Amino acid sequence: MTALNELGVRAIRDGVAAGDFTAREVADACNAAVASAAALNAFILATPDDALAAAERGDADRAAGRALGPLAGVPIGMKDLFATRGVQTSAASHILEGFVPPYESTVSQKLWDAGAGMLGKLNLDQFAMGSSNETSHFGAVASPWRKAGSNAALAPGGSSGGSSAAIAARLCPAATGTDTGGSIRQPAAFTGICGIKPTYGRCSRWGIVAFASSLDQAGPMARSVEDCAILLEAMAGFDPKDSTSLDLPVPGWSAALDPDLRGKRVGIPREYRMEGTDAAILKSWEDGIAWLKDAGARIVDVSLPHTRYALPAYYIIAPAEASSNLARYDGVRYGLRELPQGAGLQEMYAATRAAGFGEEVKRRVLIGTYVLSAGFYDAYYTQAMKVRTLVARDFEKAWAHCDVLLAPTTPTAAFALGDKLDDPLAMYLNDVFSVPASLAGLPAMSVPAGLDPDGLPLGLQVIGRPFDEQSVLNAGMAIEQRAGFVAKPERWW
Amino acid sequence: MSVDRAVVAKIASLARIRLDDAALDRMAPELNQILAWVEQLAEVDVSGVEPMSAVIPQALRLRDDVIDADPLTGGGVRDLVLANAPAAEHGFFGVPKVIE
């Protein structure tokens, strides 16, 4: 029998409901897997007691014949960007180290209400700013994957790198992620798992540490498309506490999953064929096109002419919003305070933020402050917001010709830890394929497509119309069925 | 437009982040590299294009004008609000003296 920590969300839920095993046994298996994987550094904080308590509630409900929630018995990892009542929520920063929220984020509360339990708080890039998980104050996460014949530590992607590593290493069946410019999809691609960023506004942002509010969106990460759909159903839904929350019913995505794509048109955006993209990535894209054709879809060539401007626009808009959002860390209300001898209030702010923010966070706050400052606002910020309109308009025009778009998730497979650390711009360029859908607020998913010649996973990205997560999931499932991705990292940790 | 050390120091002061000389030396070229790269946006023709501030068009909602409509985020939770403060005294946030 498969070890319980290797099972997916649906298999655990159904197995617990059927009495094949208890939720407690699953929680024990996952807690043990987490405890034995310290070398990955995927968790900032393990919460085995939370996982056990939720499991025991599930088992007691089943024993008493009470109705079980859609995630009863399923232990998950929680990205440490979600506020969890009574449990440190650090955003992987020093400035929030020791912060214990007296409230629970809407998304995490919904997951607990559905019966899920928390294995711990997952590592991430500091304030979700990064593409390799190396900007965490608590140290980088190591991907469970390694190149064939090499012991070099690889990046699990970022910012949801703890989530991706933990799922790929079978420490948990699923985890939450957040995606501002690719932070769910890129780590999913790097580690051979699935992840979906829904339409902007599907999941409440309330209680998620803010990075760039017009872009931030939560979503699930798991090892199958169906598991993502099940989780997203629990996470999504209207929340009056988030002013941009979508007041729409949550569709039954998992029950409606249908990989038959007859009558569907899949757009291939020609501008995503960029210089510098790995040959193996281009090959997997061709595979994906063939798979979707095989699923019955018609392939159409489409143009998104402003694609190359999406990334520079993002790196103005996101830092601008971050510089405003992160103004709250002042050493007064919560978090770190640095008070040099004899310092006044202004010096305390500056000293606190100097000590509490990491290099990448400082860089982005400074960029954001600059592009919003008097004299530069129009040239940078307004221009970027106009380019954002054009990027979104490109997608709108494409939807006249197709139902979903297929593209690579990333231009390369996972890179080694340290590779891009000294070159912020090279790190930013890794988000080139994921950022456009973020700027347009569109649902987008990464699904494993295969392994490159080094034995590293590659992801394919499906992008859909606003509110049409179903078509994204369906196309994702069609890929999943044909890719037959069963590879998993060989245990070294 | 490129930034020199003095401009970075000015930005850092606006952002309330103390940067020492070594940090300024490191940050200035990094910021210049990033700014030089984002400046390619200037070549995009945006005439007649409105800036996008919300991706999904939505009207802002108003809630009913009720005190403590949501008890968790309403008033009367002073101790919870202060619980994570690095310095709280007598029911207030404590800060260094600001008035001479």
Residue A405 three-state SS: strand
Q: Per the CB < 8 Å rule, is A200 touching B18?
A: no
On chain A, the residues whose CB falls within 8 A of the CB of B38 are 312-313, 315-316, 380, 384
User: Could you report the predicted ipTM of this complex, rounded to two decimals?
Assistant: 0.95
Q: Comparing C-alpha atoms, which of A123, A165, A145, A116 is closest to residue A9?
A: A116
Domain of B35 in residue numbering reads as 5-41
- Which residues is A175 bridged to in the sheet? A77, A221
> Does residue A370 belong to any structural domain of this protein?
no
Cα A363 vs. chain centroid, distance in angstroms? Answer: 22
Residue A347: band (very low, low, confident or very high) from pLDDT cuts 50, 70, 90: very high
> Is B47 among the domain residues?
no
Answer whether residue A341 is part of any domain. no
| Closest of A52, A138, A115, A121 to residue A85, by C-alpha | A121
A312–B37 C-beta distance less than 8 A: yes
> For B7, which residue in chain A has the nearest alpha carbon?
A370
Domain count, chain A: 1
Q: Is the pLDDT of residue A76 over 80?
A: yes
- Chain A positions touching B47 (Cβ under 8 A) are none
- Please name the member of A316, A345, A425 whose beta carbon is closest to the beta carbon of B33: A425
Cis-peptide into A159, omega within 30 deg: yes
Residues of A in contact with B100 (CB under 8 A): none
Nearest to A365 by CA among A336, A329, A326: A326
Contact state of B30 with A466 under an 8 Å Cβ cutoff: no
Side chain identity at residue A17, one-letter code: A
From chain A, pick out residues whose CB is under 8 angstroms from the CB of B70.
240-241
> Which chain B residues contact residue A384 at CB under 8 A?
38, 41
Contacts of A365 in chain B (CB under 8 A): 15, 17
Confidence band, pLDDT 50/70/90 cuts, at residue A195: very high
How does the average pLDDT of chain A come out, rounded?
A: 97
The pLDDT confidence band at residue A422, using thresholds 50, 70 and 90, is confident
The verdict on a CB contact (< 8 Å) between A244 and B58 is yes
Under 8 Å CB pairs connecting chains A and B tally to 171
- Residue A184 placed within a domain: yes
- Is A288 inside a domain boundary? no
Could you tell me which residues come within 8 angstroms of residue A185 by beta carbon, excluding any fewer than 6 positions away?
Answer: A179, A195, A197, A409, A434, A444, A445, A446, A459, A461
Kindly tell me if the per-residue pLDDT of A142 is higher than 80.
yes
In a domain, B16, yes or no: yes
Give A-chain residues touching B64 at CB under 8 angstroms.
none
Q: Which helix (H) or strand (E) holds A219?
A: strand A217-222
**A432-484 tens-digit pLDDT:** 999 999 999 999 999 999 999 999 999 999 999 999 999 999 999 999 999 99
| Rounded Cα distance, A313 and A319, in Å | 10
Interface test with B, best of A243, A376, A383, A395 (most B CBs within 10 A): A383
CA of B47: which chain A residue's CA is closest?
Answer: A386
Instruction: Check B54 against A214: CB less than 8 A apart.
Output: yes
Q: Are A197 and A217 in contact (CB under 8 A)?
A: yes
Contact A362 B61 (CB under 8 A): no
CB contact under 8 A, B72 and A425: no
A388 and B51: CB-CB below 8 Å?
yes
- B27 located within any domain: yes
The predicted structure's pLDDT at residue A154: 98
Question: What pLDDT does residue A367 have?
Answer: 97
Q: Tell me the C-alpha distance between A213 and A268, whole Å.
A: 29
Q: Does residue A51 belong to any structural domain of this protein?
A: yes
Instruction: Note whether residue B29 is domain-resident.
Output: yes
**A221: β partners:** A175, A195
Say whether residue B97 is in contact with chain A using an 8 A CB cutoff.
Answer: yes
In angstroms, the CA A352 to CA A232 distance is: 37
- Residue pointed to by tokens 């991430």: A124
Higher pLDDT, B76 or A249: A249
Strands A194-197 and A298-302, by their bridges, are unpaired
List the single residue in B15, B18, B52 with the smallest CB-CB distance to A385.
B52
Check if the beta carbon of residue A261 is closer than 8 Å to that of residue A295: yes
| Contacts of residue A258, Cβ cutoff 8 Å, sequence gap at least 6 | A474, A477
CATH code (residue A146) = 3.90.1300.10
What pLDDT score does B1 carry?
A: 62
Gap from B91 CA to chain A (nearest CA, Å): 12
Residue A208 Cα to chain centre, angstroms: 13
H helices present in chain B, as ranges: 5-14, 21-38, 78-82
Please enumerate, as own/partner, the contacts of B46-54 that have beta carbons within 8 Å and a separation of 24 or more.
B46/A383, B46/A386, B46/A387, B46/A389, B46/A390, B49/A386, B49/A389, B49/A390, B50/A386, B50/A389, B51/A382, B51/A385, B51/A386, B51/A388, B51/A389, B52/A385, B52/A386, B52/A388, B52/A389, B52/A392, B53/A214, B53/A385, B54/A214, B54/A244
Residue A1 has what pLDDT? 64
Number of separate domains in chain B: 1
HSE of A1 in the Cβ direction (CA atoms, 13 Å)?
Answer: 8
CA distance A484 to A481: 6
Q: Say if strands A194-197 and A174-179 run parallel, antiparallel, or are unpaired.
A: unpaired
User: Percent of chain A, pLDDT > 70?
Assistant: 100
The distance of A16 to chain B (nearest Cα, Å) reads: 34
Residues A388, B13: C-beta atoms closer than 8 Å: no
Distance from the Cα of residue A308 to its chain's centroid: 23
**H or E stretch covering A316:** helix A307-325
A352 in any annotated domain: no
pLDDT at B97: 87
Q: Are strands A265-269 and A404-408 parallel, antiparallel or unpaired?
A: parallel
Kindly determine whether residue B85 and residue A390, on different chains, have CB atoms separated by under 8 Å: no
How confident is the model at residue B54, as a pLDDT?
85
> What band does A42 get if pLDDT is binned at 50, 70 and 90?
very high
Residues 8-47, chain B, touching A (beta carbon < 8 A): 8, 11-19, 27, 30-31, 33-35, 37-42, 44, 46
Are residues A383 and B30, on separate chains, in Cβ contact within 8 Å?
Answer: no
DSSP letter at B82?
A: H
Catalytic residues of A: 79, 159, 183
* Domain presence at residue A349: no
Residues of chain B with pLDDT under 70: 1, 100
The pLDDT tens digits of the residues spanning A274-328 come to: 887 889 999 999 999 999 999 999 999 999 999 999 999 999 999 999 999 999 9
Domain that holds residue A48: 4-263+441-483
pLDDT value at position A236? 98
Report which of A157, A32, A226, A84 is spatially closest to residue A419, judged by C-alpha positions.
A157
> Which of A182-191, A426-435, B12-21 is least confident?
A426-435
Residue B70 contacts A, CB cutoff 8 Å:
yes
In a domain? residue A490:
no
Residue B70 is assigned to a structural domain of this protein: no
How many CA atoms lie less than 13 Å away from A446 in the CB half-sphere? 34
Q: Which residues of B touch A386 (CB under 8 A)?
A: 44, 46, 49-52
